[in-house]
Amino acid sequence: MKRSFPTGLLLGALLIVPVLSRGQTQDLQTIKLLEPNKERGLPVMKALSVRASVREWSDKELSLQDLSDLLWAANGINRPDGKKTASSAMNAQDVDIYVFMKAGAFLYDAAAHALVPVLAGDHRSELMMMRPGGPGGKPGAKPEAKPQAPPPGAKPGGGPGGPQSPAPVQLILVSDISRFRMGETPLKLEWAAIDTGIVSQNISLFCAATGLATRPRASMSREKIKELLKLSDTQYPLLNHPVGYPK
């Protein structure tokens, strides 16, 4: 397969992009991902036996091959008719994957198997603030003036729902319910949650099979994510996956 740049040089170039003011993307380039390696990894049953949620990661950046394989496994196109590795209600393909890295945020374009620039700068630490009402964001809870601080002596990885140091890659799973052809909003949100869970499981199994570390998280700063990504009223951030190499 022809490649325009060596893998290491491409990722290196991405990581030295200067931090720009919010919303600027002109100095970020579309990243053409590598063809997925479909022969790698543990058998499914073995991957299930070692799957576990991880709260700490190495600060080593993911290789372009690992990033390419991760995104294809999560929700890439696996058939000539454009259908994907993750099923969705009515084949709405409502789940988009936003990829936050040191250089900026990107949208995974499954059809082109590429990352499209959305936002420059490192915003990973802004995504994981506690939601109003505590770790679970209890319905009806009043918003707090400030994010909750970690308990004294808490490690960066935090406990359940606690703050954690940013992983090299943060995947934000966003469902656009306008893609469903029928149904009232509550039903669409139910389908969206199911579809997002399927993508999340693909991520977890891929990481377990290939030695990467991740955990699915519902706790995140949804309003901040909507602001950063300029999401519409029909786009809902539902889950996130920090991904990195084991620490």
- pLDDT score of 164: 56
As a whole number of angstroms, the distance between CA 166 and CA 157 comes to: 9
- pLDDT score of 25: 63
pLDDT (tens place) for every residue of the chain, 247 residues total: 434 434 443 444 344 333 333 446 668 899 999 999 999 999 999 999 999 999 999 999 999 999 999 999 999 999 999 999 999 999 999 999 999 999 999 999 999 999 999 999 999 999 976 544 443 344 444 443 444 434 444 444 444 444 456 899 999 999 999 999 999 999 999 999 999 999 999 999 999 999 999 999 999 999 999 999 999 999 999 999 999 999 8
- pLDDT score of 159: 43
Q: Quote the tokens at residue 87.
A: 């099923």
As a whole number of angstroms, the distance between CA 93 and CA 17 comes to: 32
- pLDDT score of 27: 80
- pLDDT score of 88: 97
Our measurement of the distance from residue 66's CA atom to the centroid of its chain's CA atoms, rounded to an integer in Å, reads 14
Region for 126 from its dihedrals, namely left if φ exceeds 0, alpha if ψ lies in -120 to 50, beta otherwise: alpha
Q: Which of 126, 169, 240, 124 is nearest to 11 (CA)?
A: 169
DSSP string for residues in 119-183? EES--GGGT-PPPTTTTTT-TTPPPPSSPPPPPTT--TT-STT---PPPSEEEEEEEEGGGSSS-
Q: Quote the tokens at residue 198.
A: 């399927």
As a whole number of angstroms, the distance between CA 3 and CA 119 comes to: 25
- pLDDT score of 128: 78
Q: Quote the tokens at residue 94.
A: 């409502």
pTM above 0.75, yes or no: yes
- pLDDT score of 166: 87
As a whole number of angstroms, the distance between CA 142 and CA 140 comes to: 6
Domains identified in the chain and CATH numbers: 7-18+30-131+161-244 (3.40.109.10)
